[in-house]
Amino acid sequence: MAVYNLNVNGKKVTVDVEPDMPLLWVLRDFAGLKGTKFGCGMALCGACTVHLNGQPIRSCQTPVSSLAKSAKLTTIEGISDGVTLHAVQQAWVEEQVPQCGYCQSGQIMSAVALLKTNPDPSDEDINSAMVGNLCRCGTYDRIRKAIHRAADLSKTSGGGSQKVGKAGGK
Partner 1 sequence: MTSNNNSRREFLRLSSLSGLGLMLGVSSFAKNASIVKLTEEALQLEINPFIIIDNLGNITLVNPRPDMGQGSTQAVPSLLAEELEVSLEKVKLIQSDGKSKYGSQTSGGSSSVRELWEPLRKAGAAAKEMLTETAAKRWGVSVDKCYAEDGRIHQRNSDKSFSYGELADEASKLPIPKNPKLKDSKDFKIIGKTKPRLDVPDRVTGKAVFGMDVDVPGMVYAAILHSPAIHGKIVSIDDAAAKKIPGVIKVMKAERPMPHRTSEAVAVIATNWWAALKAKKALNVTWDNSGLDKMTTDSYFAKSYEAAKAEGINFEEKGDIDQALAHAEKTLEAVYETPFLAHAPIEPENAIAHVKDNGEVEIWAPIQGPDWALRDVAGYLKVKPEQIKINVFLLGGAFGRKAYHDFLLEACFLSKELKKPVKVIWTREDDISQGPYRPGMLSAMRGAVNGKRIAAFHHHAIGESINRQVFNGLKDHEVDDWITGELSAENHKYNLPVWKLSWSNVKTDIPIVWWRSVYASNFAFGQECFMDELAHAAGQDPIEARLAILQDDRFKKVLEVISEKANWKEKLPAGQGRGVAMFKSFGSISACCVTVSKKGDGSVKIDKVVSVIDCGWHVNPDNVKAQTEGNIVMGLTAAIKPGITYAGGMAQQSNFHDYPIMRINEAPEMEIHIVNSGEVPGGVGEPGLPPVAPALANAIFAATGKRLRKLPIDLNEV
Shortest Å distance, C-beta 112 to partner 1 = 11
Using CB under 8 A as the binding rule, whether residue 101 contacts partner 1 is answered as yes
Q: Is the dihedral of CA 151, 155, 156, 160 positive or negative?
A: positive
Shortest Å distance, C-beta 156 to partner 1 = 20
Identify whether the C-beta of residue 143 lies closer than 8 Å to the C-beta of residue 111: yes
Straight-line distance from the first to the last Cα atom of the chain, in angstroms, rounded to the nearest whole number: 42
Using CB under 8 A as the binding rule, whether residue 87 contacts partner 1 is answered as no
Angle at 109 between CA 131 and CA 4, to 5 degrees: 120
Using CB under 8 A as the binding rule, whether residue 42 contacts partner 1 is answered as yes
Using CB under 8 A as the binding rule, whether residue 2 contacts partner 1 is answered as no
Using CB under 8 A as the binding rule, whether residue 56 contacts partner 1 is answered as no
Q: Which helix (H) or strand (E) holds 140?
A: helix 140-156
Is residue 145 classed as helix, strand or coil in its secondary structure? helix
**Site residues, partner 1 (CB under 8 A):** 1, 18, 20-22, 25, 28-30, 33-42, 44-45, 47, 75-77, 80, 82, 85, 89, 92-93, 96-105, 108, 126-128, 130-144, 164, 166-170
